[in-house]
Amino acid sequence: MASAYAVLKFLHVLSFVFMAIPLFNLIVVNERALLGVPFQYHADRYMENIIRRGATRCFVFQGTVLATGVLMLVAGPLGITALWGNWVLLVKTVLLFTLVTLLSYVHLRLQPQIESILASVTADSTPAPDLAARLKPYRVRRKRLATVCLFLVITTIVLGMQVYGRFSAGLTVTLIAFGALFAWRANRTLLRFGWV
Ligand code: HEM
């Protein structure tokens, strides 16, 4: 049983590590902005494909985190009732469903609007002069949501480490504030040196 639990915990940790997709999407869009050209079919199509298909991967990792989390409760010492009896687990689960909801909005509402604007553009056609301006409001909103998701993933990790032992409130608040600062920096800059 111990090894089964260890495998669950390994998959739990690996899946939320891969839930860092919002960070890399922010890097992708900031690199695209750095190209400086308004709209370039291949560059924009490449970026949109990375982000669009990344959503499906993220749903799978979110599902794996949830499944392994529940299985660890069932297989481990805490029991499934800890899901509502342990506030850390309850808040983690609420944050996970918030992440699923935000990703669903991006994938099912925002991305199709971007795709419908891009549908008329091909590699051979000259893009309409207002194309970049029409894409901008959706891309700005998507970037903001990626920033919020990155912050929520970091916050859930801070809580995740406290399932069995609590940090001081001061440390928890400091780490979450660091998460907010890092997510903001990831929105604004290329983070060339990882943390800055
Ligand atoms: C985005 C969502 C989540 C993230 C980022 C996350 C993160 C973490 C982290 C960082 C740990 C500590 C691992 C360690 O001590 O090495 C952990 C442990 C744990 N998580 Fe999650 N978690 C998430 C969602 C959930 C959910 C939804 C559940 C339950 C339904 C859950 C149940 C657990 C349990 C039971 C442990 C303790 C494992 C152990 O130390 O034995 N997690 N999680």
C-alpha–C-alpha distance, residues 141 and 133, integer Å: 13
Q: Is residue 63 part of a domain?
A: yes
Res 1 pLDDT > 80? no
Task: Report pLDDT for 127.
Answer: 87
Nearest ligand 1 atom to alpha carbon 93: 27
Task: Report pLDDT for 126.
Answer: 86
Contact 154, 147 (CB under 8 A): no
C-alpha of residue 145 to centroid of ligand 1, in Å: 23
Q: Is residue 96 part of a domain?
A: yes
Confidence class of residue 39 from pLDDT cuts 50, 70 and 90? confident
The full DSSP string for 69-108 is HHHHHHHSSS-TTHHHHSHHHHHHHHHHHHHHHHHHHIII
Q: Is residue 194 part of a domain?
A: no
pLDDT tens track for 152-165: 999 999 999 999 99
Is the CB of residue 159 below 6 angstroms from any atom belonging to ligand 1?
no
**Residue among 136, 58, 37 at smallest CA distance from 100:** 58
Task: Report pLDDT for 144.
Answer: 98
C-alpha of residue 7 to centroid of ligand 1, in Å: 13
Average pLDDT (179-184) is: 98
DSSP state letter for 38: S
Q: Is residue 8 part of a domain?
A: yes
Range of the domain at 12: 2-188
Task: Report pLDDT for 142.
Answer: 98
How many domains are there within the chain? 1
C-alpha of residue 160 to centroid of ligand 1, in Å: 5
pLDDT tens track for 102-156: 999 999 999 999 999 999 899 998 888 899 999 999 999 999 999 999 999 999 9
Q: Is residue 131 part of a domain?
A: yes
Q: Is residue 196 part of a domain?
A: no
Average pLDDT (11-27) is: 97
Contact 95, 156 (CB under 8 A): yes
C-alpha of residue 151 to centroid of ligand 1, in Å: 16
Is the CB of residue 69 below 6 angstroms from any atom belonging to ligand 1?
yes
Task: Report pLDDT for 58.
Answer: 97
C-alpha–C-alpha distance, residues 167 and 69, integer Å: 20
Is the CB of residue 70 below 6 angstroms from any atom belonging to ligand 1?
yes
Q: Is residue 49 part of a domain?
A: yes
Is the CB of residue 9 below 6 angstroms from any atom belonging to ligand 1?
yes
Using most ligand atoms within 8 A of CB, pick from 66, 68, 163 the residue to mutate for ligand 1. 163
Q: Is residue 126 part of a domain?
A: yes
